[in-house]
Amino acid sequence: MNSADIFSLENAAMERWRAGDPMGYVETSADDIIYVDPSLASPIIGLGAYRAHMQMVVGKIFYQRSEFIGMKVEMHAEASLLTYNYRSTVLSPDGNVISQTPWNVTEVYFFHQGTWKIAHAHFSYTRHKAPVKLELPLPVSSSLVEYSGVLGELMALEQAAMQRWRGGDLGGYLDLYAPAVTYFDPGSPLRVDGREAMRSIYKQLEGQICYEVMDFVDPRVLLSGDLAVLFYRFLSTSLNPDGSIKSRTPWNCTEVYQRLQGRWSILHNHWSLINGERE
């Protein structure tokens, strides 16, 4: 199977979606899928929960124009990383544009038992802002959470990079990025391509990022060969001088890592605000 076949799967599911039938995505998804979109305060874990979620929108979504922008497919041995910007357009009966919705889309397909299935899907509005109020269900542990295996390896990298990031040193993530890394965040109008483009963006952010507390919430990893998909929710919290909370920002984060010669590098990064609203 090649990149054209991956796009064919995605396009077929999207064509059904825009005609009110979301079950094409369900049929194309793996048993352990992790799914995120702007309507969710928590990720959907597993095919059963995903099917139940999609059944609630059967017959409720219709639009006439479907545009894939900057479609990029990276093929690996038993995994495929698909990223694109997307625009859904509702037209009036005479063909005039009523509304358009721009999206960032990350889809990771795994090849399993002779077929390609979506292991992880992350949808967010292209430009979006945090909601005024958010009810966020969080797991609470009374002891220190320790991660093992591949999840432990990746979380050690993430925690080290984020520790530098929250203090204003943005180089921790640049050190992890592959040369051809791709990137989505709430402020970029399109997908950002390449480490040097990321370096330019980060240079503009120097001195603007500082917060005291970082919380990684329920990180999970999906693994296929040397490709790993890491997903977690993240809370960045700034404090007042007296230690009380000044502000807190809730995030969804997808990191797609590849292990080459024993070293993990980030191929793709997708940040979105939980329940992010269109600007």
Q: Do domains 3-129 and 149-278 have the same CATH topology?
A: yes
Residues of the chain scoring pLDDT < 50: none
Domain extents in the chain:
3-129, 149-278
pTM score above 0.85: yes
CATH architecture for residues 149-278: Roll (3.10)
Cite the DSSP H helix spans in 98-256. Answer: 149-166, 171-176, 195-205
User: What contacts 24+ positions apart, CB below 8 Å, involve 3-11?
Assistant: 3/73, 3/75, 3/80, 5/116, 6/73, 6/75, 6/80, 6/82, 6/109, 6/116, 7/68, 7/71, 7/73, 7/82, 9/109, 9/116, 10/82, 10/107, 11/68
Q: Out of 3.40.140.10, 3.30.1360.40, 3.10.450.50, 2.40.160.40, select the CATH number for domain 3-129.
A: 3.10.450.50
d(CA 229, CA 157): 14
The string of pLDDT tens digits covering residues 152-197 is 999 999 999 999 999 999 999 999 999 999 999 999 999 999 999 9
What confidence score (pLDDT) does residue 113 get?
A: 86
